[in-house]
Amino acid sequence: MSPTTREGGLSALPRAVVGSRLPAVLRSPTLQGFVFTAPLLLLFAAFVVYPMLSGLYAATDPDSYRAIFGDPVFRQTVSNTLWYVVVAVNVKLVLALLLSGILDYPFLSIRVLAALFLIPWAIPALPGILSFRWMLNSQWGIFNHLLTKLGFESVPWLAQHDTALAFVIIFHIWKYLPFWTIIFLAGRRAIPNELYEAAAIDGGGVVQSFFSITFPLLKSLYLICTLLSMVFTLGDFTVPWLLTGGAPGDTTHVLATLAYRYTFAMGRLEWGLSTFAVALPVTLLFIGMLMRWVKI
């Protein structure tokens, strides 16, 4: 089968057979392509492009930027969001890359471990967050109970900025580590075994084969996963909102929760929109990079 027929798809069909019953206009590949992608295009135009443009249009007032940049909560939020995105995503992906190496072994026990390991990904975020929240409760949480039993001071985990933000990061890692581990596991399995056998003959150890074979071959996958995960995390609402809700004293907001607070608790719609607009340039840069590498 030559590549041209494969590439050509439907348009490579013998015209006489397929088109005999249709008028010429309806045989046009452009029209057929349009018909089959019309639902998608309508959906994206109506619910992505239009809200995006209308949101940007409503966020053009320089006063709202002056207002949010003057708000200490906003400045704190930007710093929180950066911490969240940079630390959570990178720690998670390094761990995922290493764990995918362990879960790659073909033992039965490892397969059982791998199946159990996926549970945080299988259950929705909300029950997990609620469980963490109760475990971290200053008075009745299991963490403080165990700490005091071991003779330590109890810690108001979610009632102070640093530990609250740390647990937003920890929860994110708990919930999403399995997914990215699977992705890297698949990436590893796509590497031909011969490469490792050759390295073993040359006398390379596990660490050496990781740096000379695994990592160079997974590098682009790793980079794409980092970008994707960073963009997703940049817009995360659920985890910070339900774990801390911005508490204590609005110090643990991230962009999405602050925009929600501006819009719905304070009635400042244009502030909410401007909060996202501030993050848009870096988001678009990331999306642009991804679109160069990934094709649908």
Partner 1 sequence: MLALTLVILVWTLFPVYYMVLLSLTPTNDLFQPALYIDNPTLRSYVYTMGQDNPFVRYFWQQLLTSLTVSLWTMVLVGVIAAMGSFAMARMKFRFRRYVSGLTLFTYVIPSSFLAIPFFKMMADYDLIDTKLSLILAMVTFATPYALWVLSDYARSLPPEIEEAGAIDGAGTLATFFYLYVPLIIPPLIAIGTYAFLYAWNEYLYALLLLTGEQHIPLPVAMSNFLTTDNAPWNLLMAVSTVYSIPPVILYYAFKRYLVSGLVSGAVSGT
Binders of partner 1 among 263-282, rule CB under 8 A? Answer: 263, 269, 272-273, 276, 279-280
Q: Which stretch binds partner 1 (CB under 8 A): 71-79, 161-169, 203-211, 286-294?
A: 286-294
Could you tell me the maximum CA-CA distance found in the chain, to the nearest angstrom? Answer: 86
Interface with partner 1 in residues 216-255 (CB under 8 A): 220-221, 224-225, 228, 231-232, 234-238, 241-242, 245
Which contacts (CB < 8 Å, 24+ apart) does range 76-83 have?
A: 76/250, 76/251, 76/253, 77/253, 77/254, 77/255, 77/258, 77/275, 78/255, 78/278, 80/165, 80/251, 80/252, 80/253, 80/254, 81/234, 81/254, 81/255, 81/279, 83/165, 83/169
Q: Which stretch binds partner 1 (CB under 8 A): 71-79, 86-94, 152-160, 180-188?
A: 180-188
CB of 202 to partner 1, least distance (A): 25
Indicate whether 24 belongs to the interface with partner 1 (CB under 8 A): no
- Angle 89-161-65 (CA atoms, 0-180°, nearest 5)? 75
Nearer to partner 1 by C-beta: 199 or 259? 259
Q: Whose CA is closest to 168, among 179, 184, 157, 153?
A: 157
- Angle 142-158-161 (CA atoms, 0-180°, nearest 5)? 145
Interface with partner 1 in residues 57-96 (CB under 8 A): 58
Nearer to partner 1 by C-beta: 202 or 220? 220
Nearer to partner 1 by C-beta: 137 or 160? 137
Q: Which stretch binds partner 1 (CB under 8 A): 67-75, 111-119, 157-165, 192-200?
A: 111-119
What is d(CA 3, CA 6) in angstroms, rounded to the nearest whole number? 5
Indicate whether 44 belongs to the interface with partner 1 (CB under 8 A): yes
Q: Which stretch binds partner 1 (CB under 8 A): 31-39, 86-94, 158-166, 196-204?
A: 31-39
Nearer to partner 1 by C-beta: 201 or 296? 296
Indicate whether 97 belongs to the interface with partner 1 (CB under 8 A): no
Q: Whose CA is closest to 135, among 162, 161, 165, 155?
A: 155
